[in-house]
Structure 1
Amino acid sequence: MGIVEFVSQLTIDLIHYFGYLGVFIAMTLESACIPIPSEVIMPFAGFSVSEGEMTLWGITIVGALGNLTGSLMAYYVGLKGGRPLLEKYGKYIFISYNSLDRADRWFEKYGHEAVFISRFLPGIRTFISLPAGIAEMDIKKFSIYTLAGSLPWAFVLGYIGVLLGPKWDTIKSYFHILDIIVIIGVIAGIIYLVYKYKTRSQI
């Protein structure tokens, strides 16, 4: 069993035995830069909804709150420790130099809005909180953007799990389609941001 499969199975067991609390814990860990994919957490939670064990809105809210909690943890790590601390000790909690670099570039390029947009991007969404903390982004704005981006992400993945029911694990074969939808949404968001900033600069 590979590491991804092993972690995924642990996540499934956590949700199976602890329900909403399991969803919250798993999504908190995922947003605190622990490699637990939300693409496994929320679809399995959706499968549990289809079995009558939880509700779709319940897992959406709990999942988003878990995202916010884990993101705040990562934010404060960036705020208090800064980039040097993360480069030195990040490897021990699976934070690579490349991941930090990617998140830094996103935050520098798109500013505070990157916190919202990145919630829809696997590989960036987990680490964006770190540069936000390093840059001392306003905590209220950070929390609002994080929650606003986490709610639709948790809902969509959970709903897909509901639709698939017992075949929820086949979501893996549809990831490329989900990625395309996400990329289109991000491009639209970026176009909007560029337009907004150009309009501002002309005023």
Structure 2
Amino acid sequence: MGERVTSLLLEWMGQLDYFAIFVLMAMESSIFPVPSELVMIPAGYLVSTQKLTWGGSIVASSLGSIVGSLGSYYLALWLGRPFIARFGRYFLITEKHLSQTETFFAKHGEISIFTGRFLPGVRHLISMPAGVGRMRLSPFVGYTLVGATLWNIILLVLGYVIGENQAWVKQNTLWMVSIAVLFALLLIGGYVAWQRRRA
């Protein structure tokens, strides 16, 4: 589903340029089913061909991630959870995914905004419990910016290294996601250990 939506959007916009990266990553960070892997890995390939630059791709994707996350944050802040739970199915947001994201946010607090960027099923929904919980805007934007930028850079590097062999991406998506999940778990473990040491 996500691959089809991404292909249709790229066909409509004509090509994958900085504006397309911004729009698609804004959608990916909101409630629309646009997988970041299908945007940033091809962008990394275009960086390798010098059709795009590292700086432009990182800035466009990070700004898009911030805009999309803020959209979800304010949507949840204004409309509340019942509205999202009722109408989210029209955007492929299930009650199960929403509950899992809320549990993750409640368990890990503000750091979940950062680590959630690396977890499938959580990445594009993590802004909603932050909005419902009225999390302060400055740490929300800060954690989102750092987490999203790091994730986008990882995907860009993968696209740059893989080059034209985009078929490899489809065959190894599970492996890439597993590495990202392990990285996020290590970050959470390190943060918890640091907090306990401070206490």
Equivalent residue number for residue 178 of structure 1: 176
Secondary structure of 2:33's counterpart equals: coil
Of 83, 86, 106 in structure 2, the residue corresponding to residue 85 of structure 1 is 83
Secondary structure of 2:165's counterpart equals: helix
Equivalent residue number for residue 189 of structure 1: 187
Structure 1 outlier segments of 4+, above 4 Å: none
Paired residue type of 2:44: G
Of 123, 126, 133 in structure 1, the residue corresponding to residue 124 of structure 2 is 126
**Aligned-partner Cα distance in 1 for 2:122–2:3:** 21
**Aligned-partner Cα distance in 2 for 1:93–1:19:** 25
Equivalent residue number for residue 31 of structure 2: 33
Paired residue type of 1:52: Q
Q: Is the 8 A contact 2:10 2:16 kept in 1?
A: no
The verdict on how the C-alpha distance between 1:8 and 1:18 changes in structure 2, with shifts beyond 3 A counting, is closer
Of 54, 57, 61 in structure 2, the residue corresponding to residue 56 of structure 1 is 54
Deviation string 1:124-182 (CA, Å, 9 cap, x unpaired) is 01000000000000011100000000111111111111112221242122223222322
Two-structure CA RMSD over aligned residues (Å) = 1.7
Q: Is the 8 A contact 2:18 2:60 kept in 1?
A: yes
Q: Is the 8 A contact 1:117 1:186 kept in 2?
A: yes
Point out the structure with the larger helix share. Answer: 1
Shift of 1:27: 0.3
Secondary structure of 1:166's counterpart equals: coil
Equivalent residue number for residue 72 of structure 1: 70
Secondary structure of 1:88's counterpart equals: helix
Equivalent residue number for residue 10 of structure 1: 8
**Aligned-partner Cα distance in 2 for 1:17–1:76:** 30
Report the TM-score when normalising by structure 2.
Answer: 0.92
Q: Is the 8 A contact 1:57 1:155 kept in 2?
A: no
**Aligned-partner Cα distance in 2 for 1:19–1:112:** 33
Count how many residue pairs are aligned between Structure 1 and Structure 2.
Answer: 199
> Which region of structure 1 is more displaced relative to structure 2, 13-22 or 122-131?
13-22
Q: Is the 8 A contact 1:14 1:22 kept in 2?
A: no
Contiguous gaps of at least 5 residues in structure 2 = none
Contiguous gaps of at least 5 residues in structure 1 = none
Q: Is the 8 A contact 1:11 1:36 kept in 2?
A: no
Equivalent residue number for residue 139 of structure 1: 137
**Aligned-partner Cα distance in 2 for 1:31–1:178:** 19
> Which region of structure 1 is more displaced relative to structure 2, 13-22 or 155-164?
13-22
**Aligned-partner Cα distance in 1 for 2:81–2:3:** 31
**Aligned-partner Cα distance in 2 for 1:188–1:132:** 22
Paired residue type of 1:100: L
> Which region of structure 1 is more displaced relative to structure 2, 147-156 or 53-62?
53-62
**Aligned-partner Cα distance in 1 for 2:184–2:116:** 8
Secondary structure of 2:163's counterpart equals: helix
Q: Is the 8 A contact 1:76 1:133 kept in 2?
A: yes
Q: Is the 8 A contact 2:18 2:57 kept in 1?
A: yes
Q: Is the 8 A contact 1:78 1:131 kept in 2?
A: yes
